[in-house]
Structure 1
């Protein structure tokens, strides 16, 4: 199923009901394909909105959380050599990387809203979201990498190369 078609069969009422279900603790769910699809819908909608922001404003002035400065500083202290222009699945999800990232993310459990939500990240900062250029990561990992991309100039060309898109309605 193409990401663009997620939610079309559910409708607005179904999506609103799903949103309330997704607020429940993750421990209450087993691997349910409907729940996984709802998480994917939410992650895709976030990606659409975020990319439209990058296409509309100077990324250097974009604030993602009230903890941006602390998050960026901690990220660069923990991952000083990570090239955020292009990231790989191995850099973010290998066994070694998961250990470091898990410790990094847990620090923000209480301070960053939805710190562990599934969020799509672009592997190559110069390109838009696509199946080949996206991966799901915890929200704090997305925030840390995107803050670095914006502050270090890797998101600067987005406004020149892409225009904001009309958001798809999910009714």
Structure 2
């Protein structure tokens, strides 16, 4: 999915879907707990006020980095750290707590588990998750959650 294609996706939504998306996006992130990407279409999700800048810098610096399933060596090896360090420092004073540690999913089609997480800096998390959202990789989690929700509703209605 190309960057900047959000407008055409919005045009494809009906009035009810637009109202639902607007309502979901107006809620604070805390309302979703750990289920944000399964609750809101990732295409419309903004993680920071500077998502555009983070995404642009990330793809300028890591254009070929495979983000659907991350290789831990691309984040943690000494050569990788040397490449990540200047990228991260660009966000000092721009993204609060940019260098704090957080958990990042290795495989974006899977949830958080001991086997599927790596410790990363907050700005690495934002960069990769923003890219996954914009490039359509996080849609699998969202679509699966929507299908499971519909199936759950169908089984509740049929009782």
* Structure-1-length-normalised TM-score: 0.65
Which structure 1 residue ranges, 5 or more long, are not aligned?
Answer: 1-45, 165-171
Deviations 1:59-112 (A, max 9, x none): 011111111001100100000101110101101010000011111001101100
Asked if 1:80 is matched to 2:80, the reply is no
Q: 1:71 aligned to 54, 67, 73, which one?
A: 54
SS at match of 2:35: helix
**Hey, which bits of structure 1, 4+ residues long, moved more than 3 A?**
none
Q: Which residue number in structure 2 is paired with residue 124 of structure 1?
A: 107
Q: Which residue number in structure 2 is paired with residue 154 of structure 1?
A: 137
Q: 1:53 aligned to 36, 41, 47, which one?
A: 36
Q: Which residue number in structure 2 is paired with residue 104 of structure 1?
A: 87
Which structure 2 residue ranges, 5 or more long, are not aligned?
Answer: 1-29, 149-159
The answer on whether the counterparts of 2:39 and 2:145 sit within 8 Å (CA) in structure 1 is no
**Number of residue pairs matched by the alignment:** 117
SS at match of 1:121: strand
Q: 1:161 & 1:88 partners in 2: Cα distance?
A: 24
Q: Which residue number in structure 1 is paired with residue 126 of structure 2?
A: 143
Q: Which residue number in structure 2 is paired with residue 115 of structure 1?
A: 98
Q: CA RMSD in A?
A: 1.8
Deviations 1:11-54 (A, max 9, x none): xxxxxxxxxxxxxxxxxxxxxxxxxxxxxxxxxxx9x93x4100
